[in-house]
C-alpha cells in the first residue's frame, strides 16, 4: 500500500518520535536531543540519539538510522504499511484508500509546493516595488523591522491579478494556481480565474519543515474581511497548522515552553522582543489537532489571549477542547493580558518586562476550569456547593485518561475543602444547635492536664482518633476520606489539621505515613501532631496504632465514626430539649421527636460505647 507524503507528514506531526522510542529505550534529554542505549545492539555507553526536530534517530555505535516508521518496523518486525497503520491508529487518523485519483493528487501535491513557493517569491518582490510602498510603511509603523520581514518572508499582493500574470509567465497553469488556493474560479465557468489576495500584506504560513503551504493576508485600509486565509487545499488544513511553528521550534525546545498568541503581528512582535518561542493559530480557536502538535514540542504550552471578552471566550474554548485529551505530563497554562491589550501593544506601551511579568502569572488548566465553574455563582448554601461539586465532577469526567481524571477529581475535592471547610468550621464555632459548650481547648492544653479529676471531652477525643487513624494509615484515604471531609469539626486546631491531611492525600492518595507526617510537621502542625499520636489518644483506640492490621483499623474507624455521629445527635437533642422547655412549640416538639427516633436506630453505637469505656480504663 502506498501513502501520500501529506498523510505521512500528518502522522509524523501527530506522533512524537521521542515518545515512541521511549517505549523501548530509556531516554535522557541532553540539549535538543535525547540519548539512550541502542536497542539494536548491546552497549554499555549510550550512543543512540533521537532528534525530535529533524524527525530521525541515529546510533553512532552500529549505524542504525531512520524515522519513526523505521523504528516501529524494526522493533515490532512490521512492514512499512503496518507501521504506518499502527501509528495512524494511535493518533486517530483514518487510513486513506488508495485510488488512481489519490495517486494523481500525490503527484500534483509535489507541484503545488513549487507553485506556492513561486507565489511567495512574487509577493516578497512586490513589497519593495512602488505598489508595495503603503504595505511596507504599514509594517514599519507596526514596528516590524527589516530582519523580521525577511525571516517571516512577508510580502504584498497587488490590487490586481498580477500574481496570475507572473506565474503564467513561469508556465504555471490556472488549474494549479486555483488548486493551491491562489486563484478564485468564478461560478460562471465562462469567466477566467482571478487572484484571491488583492491589496493585502501577505504572511506566508509554513509547515513544520519550513515549506510555505498557505497565506494569511491583512487588508490595507478599510475592507472586509480584515484578515483572509488561504482555503483548504491538498497542502493546507487550517486546524492542523500553526503560524511560525517552524521558526519557533528551536527556541521552544530551549525554553521548554511555547507561547500561543492570537495573531501574526503578535507573533512577530514577540519574536522581535526575544520571545522566539511564539506561535499562533490561524484565525480560529485552538483545535484538538493543534494542541496535540504543541504537545509534541513541549509538555505545557502557554496560551496567551487578549484581555477582552473575545479573548476570554477563546481561552475557555481551548480549555474545554484540551480536557478530553489530557495525558500524564501534558497540560496547558493560560495568561490573560490587561483589558484592551494584546502582546504587540503591551510591548510597545510597557516593554519586555511587562510580558515577562505576565508570563510569570500563568495559571494552570485546572485553575481555569475552577474559575469558570465558580465565577458569578452563589455558593452560600450546601445545595449551592453540591451543585458546584457536580459541575466539577462533570468537567473531570470528560478526561479520557483515567489517571489524570482521578487526580483532577481529587484536586477538585481538595479545593472544595480549602474554600469551604474553614468557613464551615468557624461558623459552627460561633454557636447554634451544635454548641461546643465553650470547651474548644487545644490538644496541647488538654493533654497537659493531669490527675483523675481532669475533664476529657469525649467528642474531641473521637475527632482526634478519626484524624490520627488516617495519619497512621493513609492508605485508608480512598475508603474514609470523603466521610471525614463531611464532618463538622468545631475545634479550630483539629479542623485545620483535618483539612491539611485531606488536601495532601487528595493530591497523593498513596503517600507513605512517614512522608505525610514530615509534611504536616513542616506545615506548622508539629506540636499538635506529637500530642495527637501520643499514647493519651491512641490508648483510647488501640486499633489506630500504625502497626495494626488494616482491616482492624478500618473496622475501628467505622465504629468511632458512627459513635461520633450519634454523640453529635445526642448533643443536638439536649439543645432542642432546652429550647422546648424555654419556648414550647409544636415545631420544636416534632423536631425533638424526630431526633430521638433517629437516635434509637443507632443501637450498634451502644455496643461500642462499652468498648470505648473499657479502653479508657485499660
The answer to whether 358 and 346 have CB atoms below 8 angstroms apart is yes
Handedness of CA 324, 326, 328, 333 (dihedral sign): negative
The answer to whether 341 and 304 have CB atoms below 8 angstroms apart is no
On whether both 159 and 283 belong to a single domain, the answer is no
Local structure of 221: helix, strand or coil: coil
On whether both 176 and 261 belong to a single domain, the answer is no
What mean pLDDT do residues 374-379 have? 76
Render 283-318 in DSSP notation, one character per residue. SSPPPHHHHHHHHHH-SS-EEEE-SSHHHHHHHHHH
- Does residue 68 belong to any structural domain of this protein? yes
On whether both 151 and 296 belong to a single domain, the answer is no
- For residue 249, pLDDT over 80 is answered with yes
Q: Domain boundary at 353, 371, 389, which?
A: 371
Neighbours of 225 (CB within 10 A): 10
Give me the pLDDT at residue 166, please: 94
Give me the pLDDT at residue 452, please: 33
On whether both 540 and 507 belong to a single domain, the answer is yes
Give me the pLDDT at residue 110, please: 65
- CA 287 – CA 242 distance, rounded (Å): 10
On whether both 263 and 214 belong to a single domain, the answer is no
CA 339 to chain centre: 24
On whether both 58 and 165 belong to a single domain, the answer is no
pLDDT digits 0-9 by tens, 155-208: 999 998 899 999 999 999 999 999 999 999 998 888 999 999 999 999 999 998
Give me the pLDDT at residue 100, please: 64
What mean pLDDT do residues 231-238 have? 92
The answer to whether 517 and 529 have CB atoms below 8 angstroms apart is yes
Most confident by average pLDDT, 98-112, 380-394, 433-447, 454-468: 380-394
Query: Which carries the bigger pLDDT value, residue 434 or residue 287?
Result: 287
The answer to whether 255 and 239 have CB atoms below 8 angstroms apart is no
Instruction: Share the mean pLDDT of the chain.
Output: 82
- For residue 88, pLDDT over 60 is answered with yes
- Does residue 588 belong to any structural domain of this protein? yes
- Does residue 415 belong to any structural domain of this protein? no
CA 294 to chain centre: 13
Please give the C-alpha separations between residue 277 and each of 244, 302, 358, in angstroms, as whole numbers. Answer: 9, 10, 15
Lay out the sheet containing 259-260: strands in order across: 278-279, 259-260, 302-305, 333-336, 363-364
Q: Domain boundary at 349, 371, 393, which?
A: 371
pLDDT digits 0-9 by tens, 110-127: 689 999 999 999 999 999
Neighbours of 92 (CB within 10 A): 10
**The domain containing residue 118 runs over which residues?**
100-236
Confidence of residue 590 (pLDDT cuts 50, 70, 90): low
Percent of the chain with pLDDT over 90: 36
Give me the pLDDT at residue 445, please: 40
On whether both 117 and 151 belong to a single domain, the answer is yes
Confidence of residue 608 (pLDDT cuts 50, 70, 90): very low
Most confident by average pLDDT, 35-49, 87-101, 294-308, 590-604: 35-49
The answer to whether 1 and 97 have CB atoms below 8 angstroms apart is no
- Does residue 123 belong to any structural domain of this protein? yes
| 363-364 and 333-336 strand pairing | antiparallel
Q: Which residue has the cell 481529587?
A: 410
The answer to whether 541 and 608 have CB atoms below 8 angstroms apart is no
Read off the C-alpha cell for 286.
Answer: 485552538
What mean pLDDT do residues 232-241 have? 91
On whether both 152 and 227 belong to a single domain, the answer is yes
Render 418-448 in DSSP notation, one character per residue. IIIIHHHHHHHHT-STT--TT----HHHHHH
- Does residue 146 belong to any structural domain of this protein? yes
- For residue 405, pLDDT over 80 is answered with yes
What are the beta bridge partners of residue 206? 212
Those residues with Cβ within 8 angstroms of residue 345's Cβ, 6 or more apart along the chain or in another chain: none
Q: Which residue has the cell 432546652?
A: 578
- Does residue 204 belong to any structural domain of this protein? yes
Nearest to 485 by CA among 469, 498, 470: 498
Render 374-406 in DSSP notation, one character per residue. HTT----SHHHHHHHHHHHHHHHHT-SSHHHHH
Give me the pLDDT at residue 516, please: 87
Across 135-139, 382-386, 432-436, 533-537, least confident range: 432-436
Handedness of CA 423, 424, 425, 427 (dihedral sign): positive
What mean pLDDT do residues 471-495 have? 85
Q: In this structure, what CATH number is given to the domain that contains residue 151?
A: 3.90.980.10
pLDDT digits 0-9 by tens, 492-542: 888 888 888 888 888 777 788 888 887 888 778 877 887 777 655 666 678
On whether both 469 and 364 belong to a single domain, the answer is no
Those residues with Cβ within 8 angstroms of residue 567's Cβ, 6 or more apart along the chain or in another chain: 458, 459, 462
- CA 206 – CA 204 distance, rounded (Å): 6
If you ran DSSP here, which 8-state letter would residue 543 be given? Answer: G
- Within 13 A of 554's CA, how many CA atoms are on the CB side? 11
Nearest to 457 by CA among 489, 483, 425: 489
The answer to whether 330 and 293 have CB atoms below 8 angstroms apart is no
Give me the pLDDT at residue 119, please: 97
Read off the C-alpha cell for 232.
Answer: 483548504
Nearest to 431 by CA among 541, 564, 227, 579: 579
- Within 13 A of 271's CA, how many CA atoms are on the CB side? 27
Q: In this structure, what CATH number is given to the domain that contains residue 361?
A: 3.40.1360.10
- Does residue 75 belong to any structural domain of this protein? yes
On whether both 463 and 591 belong to a single domain, the answer is yes
Give me the pLDDT at residue 162, please: 93
Instruction: Look at the chain and report how many structural domains it folds into.
Output: 4
The answer to whether 333 and 258 have CB atoms below 8 angstroms apart is no
On whether both 252 and 347 belong to a single domain, the answer is yes
Read off the C-alpha cell for 48.
Answer: 543512540
- Does residue 403 belong to any structural domain of this protein? no
- CA 181 – CA 579 distance, rounded (Å): 82
CA 497 to chain centre: 29
| 33-36 and 200-206 strand pairing | unpaired
On whether both 74 and 157 belong to a single domain, the answer is no
- For residue 333, pLDDT over 90 is answered with yes
What are the beta bridge partners of residue 203? 216
Please report which helix (H) or strand (E) contains residue 124, including its range: helix 100-127
Q: Domain boundary at 52, 67, 90, which?
A: 90
Amino acid at each position: 500500500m502506498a501513502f501520500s507524503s501529506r498523510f505521512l507528514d500528518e502522522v509524523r506531526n501527530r506522533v512524537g518520535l521521542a515518545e515512541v522510542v521511549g517505549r523501548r529505550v530509556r531516554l535522557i534529554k541532553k540539549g535538543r536531543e535525547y540519548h539512550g542505549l541502542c536497542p539494536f545492539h548491546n552497549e554499555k555507553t549510550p550512543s543512540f540519539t533521537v532528534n525530535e526536530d529533524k524527525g530521525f534517530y541515529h546510533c553512532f555505535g552500529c549505524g542504525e538510522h531512520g524515522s519513526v516508521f523505521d523504528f516501529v518496523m524494526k522493533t515490532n518486525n512490521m512492514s512499512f504499511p503496518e507501521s504506518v497503520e499502527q501509528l495512524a491508529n494511535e493518533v486517530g487518523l483514518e487510513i486513506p484508500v488508495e485510488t488512481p485519483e489519490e495517486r494523481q493528487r500525490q503527484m500534483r501535491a509535489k507541484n503545488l509546493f513549487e507553485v506556492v513557493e513561486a507565489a511567495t517569491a512574487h509577493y516578497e518582490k512586490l513589497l519593495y516595488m512602488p505598489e508595495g510602498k503603503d504595505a511596507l510603511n504599514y509594517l514599519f509603523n507596526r514596528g516590524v523591522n527589516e530582519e523580521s520581514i525577511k525571516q517571516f518572508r512577508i510580502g504584498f499582493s497587488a490590487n490586481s491579478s498580477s500574481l496570475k500574470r507572473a506565474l503564467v509567465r513561469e508556465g504555471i497553469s490556472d488549474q494549479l494556481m486555483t488548486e493551491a488556493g491562489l486563484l478564485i474560479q468564478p461560478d460562471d465557468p465562462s469567466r477566467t480565474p482571478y487572484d484571491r489576495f488583492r491589496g493585502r500584506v501577505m504572511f506566508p504560513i509554513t509547515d513544520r519543515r519550513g515549506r510555505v503551504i498557505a497565506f494569511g493576508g491583512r487588508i490595507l485600509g478599510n475592507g472586509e474581511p480584515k484578515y483572509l486565509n488561504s482555503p483548504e487545499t491538498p497542502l493546507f488544513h487550517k486546524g492542523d497548522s500553526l503560524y511560525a511553528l517552524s521558526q519557533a521550534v528551536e527556541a521552544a525546545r530551549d525554553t521548554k515552553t511555547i507561547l500561543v498568541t492570537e495573531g501574526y503581528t503578535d507573533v512577530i512582535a514577540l519574536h522581535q522582543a526575544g520571545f522566539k518561542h511564539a506561535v499562533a493559530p490561524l484565525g480560529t480557536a485552538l483545535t484538538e489537532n493543534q494542541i496535540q502538535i504543541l504537545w509534541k514540542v513541549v509538555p505545557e504550552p502557554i496560551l496567551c489571549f487578549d484581555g477582552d471578552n473575545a479573548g476570554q471566550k477563546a481561552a475557555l474554548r481551548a480549555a474545554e477542547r484540551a480536557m478530553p485529551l489530557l495525558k500524564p505530563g501534558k497540560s496547558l497554562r493560560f495568561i490573560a493580558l490587561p483589558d484592551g491589550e494584546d502582546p504587540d501593544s503591551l510591548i510597545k506601551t510597557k516593554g519586555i518586562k511587562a510580558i515577562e511579568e505576565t508570563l510569570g502569572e500563568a495559571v494552570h488548566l485546572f485553575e481555569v476550569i475552577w474559575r469558570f465553574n465558580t465565577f458569578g455563582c452563589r455558593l452560600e448554601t450546601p445545595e449551592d456547593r453540591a451543585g458546584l461539586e457536580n459541575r466539577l465532577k462533570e468537567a473531570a469526567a470528560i478526561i479520557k485518561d483515567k489517571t489524570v481524571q482521578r487526580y483532577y477529581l481529587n484536586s477538585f475535592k481538595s479545593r472544595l475543602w480549602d474554600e469551604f471547610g474553614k468557613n464551615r468550621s468557624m461558623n459552627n464555632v460561633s454557636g447554634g444547635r451544635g454548641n461546643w459548650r465553650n470547651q474548644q481547648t487545644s490538644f496541647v492544653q488538654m493533654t497537659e492536664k493531669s490527675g483523675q479529676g481532669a475533664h476529657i471531652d469525649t467528642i474531641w477525643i473521637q475527632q482526634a482518633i478519626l484524624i490520627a487513624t488516617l495519619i497512621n494509615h493513609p492508605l485508608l484515604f480512598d475508603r474514609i476520606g470523603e466521610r471525614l471531609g463531611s464532618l463538622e469539626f468545631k475545634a479550630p486546631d483539629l479542623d485545620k489539621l483535618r483539612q491539611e491531611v485531606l488536601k495532601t492525600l487528595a493530591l497523593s492518595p498513596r503517600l507513605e505515613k512517614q512522608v505525610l507526617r514530615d509534611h504536616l510537621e513542616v506545615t506548622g502542625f508539629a506540636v499538635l501532631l506529637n500530642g495527637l499520636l501520643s499514647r493519651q489518644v491512641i490508648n483510647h483506640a488501640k486499633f489506630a496504632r500504625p502497626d495494626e492490621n488494616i482491616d482492624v483499623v478500618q473496622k475501628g474507624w467505622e465504629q468511632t465514626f458512627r459513635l461520633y455521629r450519634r454523640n453529635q445527635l445526642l448533643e443536638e437533642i439536649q439543645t432542642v430539649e432546652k429550647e422546648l422547655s424555654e419556648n414550647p412549640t409544636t415545631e420544636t416538639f416534632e423536631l425533638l421527636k424526630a431526633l430521638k427516633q433517629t437516635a434509637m436506630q443507632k443501637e450498634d453505637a451502644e455496643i461500642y460505647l462499652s468498648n470505648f469505656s473499657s479502653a479508657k480504663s485499660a
